[in-house]
């Protein structure tokens, strides 16, 4: 009973303790609770992913976390951001994970670091960089030597960035997660031990732990390392599981406590009423359980970094750009009703008065924007790569975006044009005229085309809609036309491939009038006298992507459920701003509107 009551105490620290004093803290595993400087400490952690929030807004999101009673920030580290190309590392701007950790320290928050390197996270390829697939025989999440070699180089580099911030080195990182729900994927203990040793050798030592769903802890746990559990809402169940895998002891920690869920294209928006989890949160905290709330704040998956569900070969479900997650803090960083109800629960156990909740951020509506500059996709094609057979994105050394595949047919017969293993969405053109679309989501890989005498140019614009981020299909993640194209059963050869990664739009010319039904890029300028958050209303558009002032906002698609795109105030300026839209389907649309609130729950057939 004495130990139980001990764990109900929450040791909190003021910002200056860690931000201004250069003294070492200690963090340890007690028999029933965590120990911070030798005193009981209950982790109430908020998962926030640094790339899903503009760098300029990190501090605001952390201050909101403190207002809800949070004392720790959890985050993954994303390998495909930190090493986008082999041996080329990037820790700048929004990829500056060390700056994220320092910001948490300045705000008086501890950090749980999750550098796996596999993250899942509804993120492209589960966080793995695409180029791993170009090394023949490389197998992720295994003891295969090529994988371990690349993994080691990455972890060593990451250690240089982050090891100074471990609590045992005077920083605010209190725990480091090794692998990520590995028990849901495999059960190779030797592989897990290799992971552990790599972390230690890279300086990412201190308290290391694993996390797995309850059913998979036995496979994902490494003897001698603290085993945490994901997705448990019952304190008694959690304590039984924790003791089972930790030599009869605690601490008791739900490494991923889910207050909501994520969305994918074509599926109803997921919401979880606050009342469903208020009682569970109260019970868990009241029983001395520590939690990491996944997600406290989801933010936005910008660029082309969304992942996809594909647990078997029968379906493919790419995730939407909004990672609102129905989390306590919404996509724009404002408190929700769920936030306020959770805050009331946490206040009971905080041991101090929580900070006031900041007012909602200002939201603005921009007058309708009319596009006057445009160009179609055929007008911006770069020099092609030539090959007898179509090449995947990986073989073209292209990570994301689009590739236009082109071949010629002379005196061809009308019939079925088929793509074997299309990844993931294609638009077919004959002699520059649109014929139709192909879509992996609905297993549509064939299209009837009309040909005849003479030479016919066949173009297929293919979009990578996100590599699978979970399950056995991690090893089947090539993009583009990954096998072959046939016409009436006969394979087509002699291809040109035009890479369109859409990573930079600065050098594009927008002076040409686009052709009808051809995917179009439209550019416009608009002026602001004040800035604020806003949402682009894409309900009159079809499918594509948007950039504001050169920064990617993510994708849109009329099928929903997401119908708006969040524009953070931090990326707008007083004066002239620029917006670019790449539209695949409704190519005659020329007006863009905004709204004050997001629309994340509208499906279209």
Write the DSSP string, 251-320: --EEEEE-SS---BTTSPPP---THHHHHHHHHHHHTT-EEEEEEEE--B--TT-B-EE-SSTT--EEBP
Say how far apart CA 261 and CA 236 lie, in whole Å: 24
Q: What is the mean predicted confidence (pLDDT) over 449-460?
A: 95
Q: Give the domain 381-500 fold.
A: Jelly Rolls (2.60.120)
What pLDDT is stored for residue 419 in this prediction?
98
The highest-level CATH class for domain 369-374+508-595 is mainly beta
Q: Band the pLDDT of 172: cuts 50, 70, 90.
A: very high
What pLDDT is stored for residue 11 in this prediction?
37
Task: Look up the pTM and report it.
Answer: 0.95
What pLDDT is stored for residue 552 in this prediction?
97
Q: Does pLDDT of 4 surpass 90?
A: no
Say how far apart CA 154 and CA 430 lie, in whole Å: 45
Say how far apart CA 580 and CA 547 lie, in whole Å: 5
Q: Return the beta strands (E) in 94-203 as ranges.
A: 110-114, 173-177
Give the CA-trace dihedral at 233, 236, 241, 246, to 10 degrees.
120
Q: Give me the catalytic one of 107, 122, 256, 478.
A: 256
What pLDDT is stored for residue 524 in this prediction?
97
Comma-separated ranges of CATH 3.20.20.80 domains in the chain: 2-227+337-350
Q: What is the mean predicted confidence (pLDDT) over 29-46?
A: 97
Say how far apart CA 382 and CA 91 lie, in whole Å: 29
The highest-level CATH class for domain 2-227+337-350 is alpha beta
CB 284 within 8 A of CB 235: yes
Task: Enter the tokens of residue 44.
Answer: 């109430």
Q: Which helix (H) or strand (E) holds 81?
A: helix 79-82
Q: Band the pLDDT of 312: cuts 50, 70, 90.
A: confident
Q: Does pLDDT of 298 surpass 80?
A: yes
Q: What is the mean predicted confidence (pLDDT) over 192-207?
A: 97
What pLDDT is stored for residue 515 in this prediction?
84
Comma-separated ranges of CATH 2.60.120.260 domains in the chain: 369-374+508-595, 381-500
- Catalytic annotation on 463? no
| Mean residue pLDDT across the chain | 94
Q: Give me the catalytic one of 83, 150, 179, 181.
A: 181
What pLDDT is stored for residue 404 in this prediction?
98
Task: Enter the tokens of residue 502.
Answer: 């859409």
Q: Does pLDDT of 7 surpass 90?
A: no
Q: Strands 44-48 and 72-76, how do they pair? A: parallel
Q: Which helix (H) or strand (E) holds 582?
A: strand 575-583
- Catalytic annotation on 256? yes
pLDDT tens per residue across span 325-340: 999 999 999 999 999 9
């Amino acid at each position: 009973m004495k130990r139980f009551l001990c764990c109900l105490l929450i040791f909190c620290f003021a910002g200056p303790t860690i931000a201004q004093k250069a003294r070492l803290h200690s963090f340890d595993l007690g028999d029933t609770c965590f120990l911070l400087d030798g005193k009981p400490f209950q982790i109430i952690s908020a998962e926030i992913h640094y790339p899903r929030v503009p760098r300029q807004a990190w501090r605001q999101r952390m201050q909101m976390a403190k207002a809800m009673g949070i004392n720790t920030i959890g985050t993954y580290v994303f390998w495909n951001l930190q090493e986008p190309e082999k041996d080329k590392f990037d820790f700048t701007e929004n990829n500056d994970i060390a700056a994220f950790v320092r910001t948490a320290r300045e705000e008086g928050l501890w950090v749980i670091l999750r550098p796996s390197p596999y993250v899942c996270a509804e993120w492209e390829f589960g966080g793995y960089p695409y180029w791993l697939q170009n090394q023949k025989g490389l197998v992720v999440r295994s003891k295969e030597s090529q994988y371990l070699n690349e993994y080691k180089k990455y972890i060593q580099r990451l250690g240089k960035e982050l090891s100074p911030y471990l609590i045992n080195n005077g920083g605010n990182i209190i725990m480091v997660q090794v692998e990520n729900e590995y028990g849901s994927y495999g059960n190779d203990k030797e592989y897990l031990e290799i992971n552990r040793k790599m972390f230690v050798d890279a300086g990412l030592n201190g308290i290391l732990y694993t996390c797995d769903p309850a059913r998979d802890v036995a496979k994902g746990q490494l003897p001698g390392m603290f085993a945490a559990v994901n997705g448990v809402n019952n304190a008694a169940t959690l304590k039984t599981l924790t003791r089972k895998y930790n030599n009869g002891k605690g601490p008791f920690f739900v490494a991923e406590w889910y207050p909501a869920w994520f969305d994918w294209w074509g599926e109803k928006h997921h919401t979880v009423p606050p009342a469903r989890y208020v009682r569970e949160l109260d019970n868990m905290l009241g029983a001395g359980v520590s939690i990491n709330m996944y997600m406290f704040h989801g933010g936005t998956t910008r660029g082309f970094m969304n992942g996809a569900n594909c647990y078997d070969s029968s379906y493919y479900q790419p995730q939407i750009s909004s990672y609102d997650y129905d989390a306590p803090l919404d996509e724009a960083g404002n408190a929700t009703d769920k936030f306020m109800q959770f805050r009331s629960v946490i206040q009971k156990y905080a041991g101090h008065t929580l900070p006031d909740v900041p007012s909602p951020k200002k939201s603005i509506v921009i007058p309708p924007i009319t596009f006057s500059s445009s160009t179609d996709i055929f007008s911006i094609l770069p020099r092609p790569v030539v090959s007898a057979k179509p090449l995947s994105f990986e073989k073209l050394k292209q990570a994301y975006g689009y590739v236009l595949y082109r071949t010629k047919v002379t005196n061809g017969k009308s019939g079925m044009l088929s793509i074997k293993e299309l990844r993931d969405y294609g638009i077919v053109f004959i002699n520059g005229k649109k014929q139709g679309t192909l879509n992996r989501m609905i297993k549509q890989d064939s299209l009837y085309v009309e040909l005849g005498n003479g030479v016919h140019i066949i173009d297929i614009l293919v979009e990578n809609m996100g590599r699978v981020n979970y399950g056995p299909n991690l090893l089947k993640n090539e993009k583009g036309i990954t096998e072959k194209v046939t016409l009436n059963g006969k394979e087509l050869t002699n291809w040109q491939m035009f890479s369109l990664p859409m990573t930079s739009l600065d050098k594009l010319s927008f002076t040409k009038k686009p052709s009808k039904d051809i995917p179009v890029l439209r550019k416009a300028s608009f002026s602001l006298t004040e800035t604020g958050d806003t949402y682009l209303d894409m309900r009159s558009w079809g499918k594509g992507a948007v950039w504001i002032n050169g920064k990617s906002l993510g994708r849109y698609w009329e099928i929903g459920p997401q119908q708006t795109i969040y524009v953070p105030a931090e990326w707008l300026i007083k004066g002239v701003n620029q917006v670019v839209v790449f539209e695949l389907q409704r190519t005659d649309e020329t007006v863009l509107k905004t709204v004050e609130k997001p629309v994340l729950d509208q499906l279209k057939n």
